[in-house]
Chains A and B, each alone.
Chain A
């Protein structure tokens, strides 16, 4: 149980375009979902936290107009990187937390974004 999927697993796009990444909890309802960014050989950096049906809470330094987060249902959250630039290239990982396992976050497999 507690499986989180992400789609796509990797994406290459041109500078200036927008990219949407989906995060789904497959076998549980995720009351809260988290989006992280990870640079090579570094730890995970929390970008934002979202609860179903409400606006996401962004961490300091994260541009909310650039990284649009939508948590439309208890099983789906999306991250849209708008007007992507090469510096946005990174590994994006989502995690989800449900009602039953308070505090336990389950991570998706990640999405490798490369902006040319």
Chain B
């Protein structure tokens, strides 16, 4: 089955700096890669996603890059703000069956004011 690794597990940045979270996946059949933000006591919220036919996608301060050959994808947050503090999960989805999503282990991002 799919295996998704995520690094780092914790990340502290100063407000205004950039944050980068990296993930690798194992199943070459995976073709959809969402990123979720989870605040304490809440469900995950989709913040951006990318499909395998695209190498990069940007939405305001958030961008995601995908390298299919190397099987890795990254989340980039620029001009970080305290409200960006949360746990971020990357995920990869296979293309068959019930399209089960496999999650990374999460990154706790702390933005220091």
Contacts and interface: CB of A to CB of B under 8 A. Distances in A.
A102 B96 CA distance: 12
Interface in A80-116: 93, 95, 97, 102-110, 112
Given A49-B98, A51-B98, A104-B34, A110 B42 contact: yes
> Range of interface residues on chain B?
20 to 34
> Range of interface residues on chain A?
20 to 34
B44 interface: yes
Nearest to B98: A49
Given A43-B105, A110-B41, A104 B46 contact: yes
A34 B100 CA distance: 9
Contact of B89 (A4, A34, A44, A49): A44
Contacts of B43: 4, 6, 93, 95, 107-110
Contacts, number: 52
B34 A32 contact: no
A107 B36 contact: yes
Contact of B44 (A42, A44, A102): A44
Interface centre among B45, B100, B104, by most chain A C-beta atoms within 10 angstroms, is B100
B103 interface: yes
Nearest to B102: A46
Contacts of A109: 42-43
Nearest to A109: B43
A57 B44 CA distance: 22
Nearest to A2: B46
B39 to A, nearest CB: 10
Nearest to A105: B101
Contacts of B32: 103-104
A60 B34 CA distance: 24
Contacts of B67: none
Interface of A: 4, 6, 32, 34, 42-44, 46, 49, 51, 57, 93, 95, 97, 102-110, 112
6 contacts: A6-B43, A42-B105, A43-B105, A97-B99, A107-B36, A110-B42
Given A32-B98, A104-B46, 4 more contacts: A42-B105, A57-B98, A103-B93, A105-B101
